[in-house]
Amino acid sequence: MSGNGNAAATAEEDTPKMRVIRVGTRKSQLARIQTDSVVATLKALYPGLQFEIIAMSTTGDKILDTALSKIGEKSLFTKELEHALERNEVDLVVHSLKDLPTVLPPGFTIGAVCKRESPYDAVVFHPKFVGKTLETLPEKSVVGTSSLRRAAQLQRKFPHLEFRNIRGNLNTRLRKLDELQEFSAIILAAAGLQRMGWQNRVGQILHPEECMYAVGQGALGVEVRAKDQDILDLVGVLHDPETLLRCIAERSFLRHLEGGCSVPVAVHTAIKDGQLYLTGGVWSLNGAETMQDTMQTTIHVPVQHEDGPEDDPQLVGITARNIPRQPQLAAENLGISLATLLLNKGAKNILDVARQLNEAH
């Protein structure tokens, strides 16, 4: 008996241990679903690796009684996860790309921008208003949103409605809508509702002419240590070239405007016939003032890298060595050009006033 036991132990020791890749995520159900989808793709690509998911709470998850724009912290949903990356407790972190600031702390980079789902906003109505649209809701109906960007655009478009802050994860917000009699409808990202399997709750999709979306909305970003070449190579295959180029343009626009959660900035991008189109806008908090424009640049959506590696591969916090450099630079320059155009037209004044008003309230 004992001889067999020793043989089994020796066989076990001889079996090479599978390398374990630790993946950090927020604890919310949506964050877990998003992380699970990325891990499932990686598992299919790398059957020889093991993946362990480590969930943690972030500042943004803990402070639920204050509007996001008031907390004054750029990395609300990312800081704790970045600390874990820094301490080598995790190897990569999956985020909603719109939660990642356009300037990341030193030592970190976005190693993959995954294929974007719908970037649009969706309206979910209280059960008694099912079948309505924002336009047909009764006068003075209260609509919940945690976003200055949505509130500013929609106030301008639907002046008969009142917009009020609502916080919490998707489950919490839907419960507040259904159980409290405070809200007639709430605005949420369509991608989040799709990922949760709650498409049946969507009463209306807001198209760009009604409400342009947030920078990076609908896409997932994988954050890694900037010098961890091994992990960068591992996740780099997840880059979706079209999503990547659109999001570089969007993030570049926001970064050059110095926008963030505390000001209403929105975008719309499209790639068609070798052209990348970027529409961007800024709004005053009440939506009364706005400045928008559209620019385009020639781009050829790349399949894979043609050149050698660069010294500093990061563009707006993103590293994509396996994608040709030229289209990435064109996308970044498009964002800078559009932001410069709006700033020259007076967008800075609108943003400064919005920032001051938001801080004062």
Annotated catalytic residues are: 99
Residue of 183, 192, 197 whose CA lies nearest to 134: 183
Residue of 284, 276, 285, 213 whose CA lies nearest to 248: 276
Residue of 320, 302, 116 whose CA lies nearest to 233: 320
Residue of 218, 199, 224 whose CA lies nearest to 321: 224
Cα 161 versus chain centre, distance? 27
Cα 312 versus chain centre, distance? 24
Strand ranges inside the chain, DSSP E: 19-26, 49-56, 92-96, 108-113, 121-125, 142-144, 162-164, 185-189, 202-206, 220-225, 265-272, 275-283, 290-298
Residue of 116, 178, 117, 185 whose CA lies nearest to 150: 185
The number of residues in the chain equals: 361
Q: CB count, 10 Å around CB of 225?
A: 20
Q: d(Cα 75, Cα 25) in Å, to the nearest integer?
A: 14
The residues pairing with 112 across neighbouring beta strands, listed in sequence order, are 222
Q: Work out the angle between the directed axes of helices 347-360 and 325-344 (0-180°, nearest 10).
A: 80
Residue of 230, 202, 238 whose CA lies nearest to 94: 238
Plot region of 145 (φ>0 → left; ψ -120 to 50 → alpha; else → beta): beta
